[in-house]
Chain A
Amino acid sequence: MFGFLKSRKTQPVPATEVATEEVAPVAVEVVAEAASESAATAKSSWAQRLKSGLARTRSTFTSQVAGLFGVGAKIDEALFEELETVLLSADVGVEATQHLIDKLRGRVKRERLTEASQLRDALKAELVDLLAPLEKPLDIDNSKPFVIMLAGVNGAGKTTTIGKLARRFQAQNKSVLLAAGDTFRAAAREQLAEWGRRNNVEVISSRAGDPAAVIYDAIQSARSRGIDVVLADTAGRLPTQLHLMEEIRKVKRVIQKADINAPHEVLLVLDANIGQNALMQVKAFDEALGLTGLVMTKLDGTAKGGVIAALAKRQPVPVRFIGVGEGLEDLQPFRVAEFVDALFA
């Protein structure tokens, strides 16, 4: 899985000490040893990766659901209850689960369903209905440069997503520029620089601590050079950190000074592992920035990302992409039919 990453590692060797107390001079010797298995790990294809990523997401959910819908079985209370369990365990949340189950009951009555096996399709249909408004692919053709700002809580996957997006847009023959707007976290700049190297795109960054200024410069630079897309990274922040929420508001205001219509897309990056707090995150970041899209990362684990269903009900914001790994290629557009199928396949 990491073969691709390994082969690209070209970082300089920081063998010097930063420590203040004592030095560890022995370090230099160790440094020379290289990873031997990097070439051996075969790079799996794009399609395979997506499949294996989502398949894992699927498997637990599927085995649970499959057990419910044995052929010939009749619809009974236990079935609804088990279905409720499946939804709750996928982080769908109490409210949305209740909503879905109620709808399902309505459908069963209306359509006079009796077989347990029919219930699966009915629930699928309900989920598709609920999620359909969230499937709106991102169109980056209407502005140049098209400025995309990424925001989210700490560790959600913003910087990694930028690396993947850069790859994706370049594959669409777009020129890309990255702006290192995380001026807080240790080595955030270096991390984005590495993604820049992997994509062979330029990264605008500054040692000074003003994220708004860095992004402003990047937009100006993109405009003068005719770049198609600017991807602006920002530091992670929790909605409870009011001063940081204020800071990111300011970042957006400054972006608007560079280009009155920018940012053209404000993406909130959500980690699929996060539970119901995702609802608060969407609310808070939307109030601060006016979200235009979501990216859900880390769907290659066993977390189901069912909180999207809760979001669809409460505060629908289009889900533009999903992240299914740590590699450059591990990003795909969100498609409701696939997402729901993946849960039931």
Chain B
Amino acid sequence: MFDNLTQRLSHVVKNLRGQGRLTEANVQDALREVRVALLEADVALPVVRDFIARVKEKALGAEVLKSLTPGQMLIGVVHKELTHLMGEQAAPLSFATQPPAVFLMAGLQGAGKTTSSGKLVRVIREQGRKKVLLVSCDVYRPAAIEQLKLVSAQAEADFFPSVPEQKPIDIARAALDHAKKHFYDVLIVDTAGRLHVDAAMMDEIKALHAFLKPVETLFVVDAMQGQDAVNTAKAFNDTLPLTGVILTKLDGDARGGAALSVRHITGKPIKLVGVGEKLSGIEVFHPERMASRVLGMGDVLSLIEEAHKAVDHAEAMKTVQKLKSGKGFDLEDFKAQMQQMKKLGGLSSLMDKLPGAGQIGAGDLAQGEKQMVRIEGIINSMTPAERRNPALLKASRKRRIAAGSGVQVQDVNRLLTQFEQAQKMMKSMGKGGLSKMMRGMKGMMPGMR
């Protein structure tokens, strides 16, 4: 089993090399792999089908750019479509109403509504609304009201008390009344978890919505949710005019295909993501990062992906795999890396994106780029065996290579020293250095903490 789409595709795209156009025949295998990857990420089957059809429509007949293989071309289309489906850009919370702006939380049991209610306080305050009141209409789950009370205290926001003997609608009425009288900017109404097939409970929240007329009706969805996400999302969306989605528990390792399912079914933007149990664990949603996550193209690759579309995924993936396994990094990889760099717009632009590379000066870079050309020439003059095993490079071989690439033997020696340094760096990255690097990127991608 491959654990990500990039690896999957690198397998099938080999057959695609050297073909000028994407055709039904040459993308069929690749699309099958895309389908499997999406299903493994828990994207619901009907959504997968629609998606594949769209990708096919967009891709077929497309001319393969000179710099790309058909496989890269296709993965580009897939990624772009996925991002497009996820919603292009972050959608802000709305406060466009006479205060208090009411936020109504809705979702299945255990999705994270109460916790997200508390997290919202900070997000709301950051946007300049200071006076926030929370109330719980969950009269069913034991100690649910107590939970929101504690969460409100942690969030340093006011809490409007209620008791399980009350009717949710009465709680809502009293809370709204209080919020109006005391000039609250925002009232967050937490509700009980409910199954979409529980008609009485769905009626209850419909009534709450009708009374509260919330400016935000947020559907809280667990990122781990599976195929049933389409059924629940459809039912909630049919019952309530949802305004957005909060995707929780993204700090786990679920690929989060539910995001795509819910988005596709409801058409509503995912506004925020939950990335931890603590109240600070909330972030705005980044469609692009989510697309990469669903496809399983995380790590370094998604960073490079963000920076530039022209990267050769299969190559980059090979390097990443090598780094992770800590296995030998040879001159072939060294050269491949430099070619990648060139595609990415040269050293200077790459260095911007690689954390920890900031210490290299601009002057060095310009010189570095000239050197890269020379280095490539030198490596080209080596035999494959020499590239795989630089230890073979004794004096006579070095002379041959220097002559072949039009440089001095010192230049060959300098290259070898540089290569050794790179190799050392790669080795340390392989042993936890990479994870250190990843930690540096924390916050750039959901799911990393």
Q: Which residues of A approach B to under 8 Å, CB–CB?
A: 1-2, 5-6, 9, 11, 13-24, 26-31, 33-36, 56, 60, 85, 88-91, 93-95, 153-157, 163, 184-188, 190-191, 193-195, 198, 236, 238-241, 271, 273-278, 280, 298, 300-304, 307, 326
Contacts and interface: CB of A to CB of B under 8 A. Distances in A.
Given A5-B140, A273-B228, A56 B197 contact: yes
Contacts, number: 231
Contact of A31 (B139, B163, B227, B249): B163
B201 to A, nearest CB: 8
B284 to A, nearest CB: 21
A277 B152 contact: no
Interface stretch (B62-70, B73-81, B143-151, B387-395): B143-151
B105 to A, nearest CB: 14
Interface in B345-361: none
Contact of A190 (B143, B174, B228, B231): B143
Contacts of B224: 153, 271, 273-275, 277-278
Residue of B142, B150, B178 with most chain A CB atoms under a 10 A cut-off: B142
Contacts of A90: 227
Contacts of B143: 11, 187-188, 190-191, 193-194
Residue of A2, A186, A198 with most chain B CB atoms under a 10 A cut-off: A186
Nearest to A26: B178
Tell me the dominant secondary structure on chain A's binding face. loop
Nearest to B168: A35
B110 A277 contact: no
A190 B146 contact: yes
A155 B110 contact: yes
Given A56-B197, A91-B227, A273-B108, A19 B157 contact: yes
Interface string B406-449: 00000000000000000000000000000000000000000101
Contact of A280 (B108, B159, B253): B253
B370 interface: no
B110 A271 contact: yes
B165 interface: yes
Given A193-B143, A195-B142, A326-B140, 18 more contacts: A1-B200, A5-B140, A6-B139, A13-B161, A19-B157, A24-B133, A30-B171, A33-B165, A60-B231, A155-B109, A187-B147, A191-B142, A274-B224, A274-B254, A276-B41, A276-B226, A276-B255, A301-B195
B276 to A, nearest CB: 9
A17 B252 CA distance: 34
Contacts of A19: 152-153, 156-159
A230 B182 CA distance: 48
A254 B165 CA distance: 40
B161 to A, nearest CB: 4
Given A20-B153, A275-B227, A13 B163 contact: yes
B252 A240 contact: yes
A307 B161 contact: no
B165 A153 contact: no
Tell me the dominant secondary structure on chain B's binding face. loop
A87 to B, nearest CB: 10
Given A27-B161, A274-B225, A191 B45 contact: no
Contacts of B166: 30-31, 33-35
Nearest to B231: A302
Interface string B103-138: 000001111101000000000000000010100000
Given A153-B252, A274-B225, A276-B226, A187 B171 contact: no
Interface residues of B, number: 74
Contact of B142 (A15, A31, A194, A302): A194
A239 B164 contact: no
Contact of B45 (A89, A153, A194, A241): A89
Nearest to A236: B277
A33 B167 contact: yes
A218 B139 CA distance: 30
Contacts of B449: 240
26 contacts: A5-B140, A13-B163, A14-B145, A16-B161, A18-B152, A18-B153, A26-B174, A26-B177, A30-B161, A30-B166, A33-B166, A35-B164, A153-B224, A155-B112, A155-B222, A156-B110, A186-B146, A191-B141, A191-B143, A191-B146, A271-B110, A273-B228, A277-B253, A277-B254, A301-B195, A303-B226
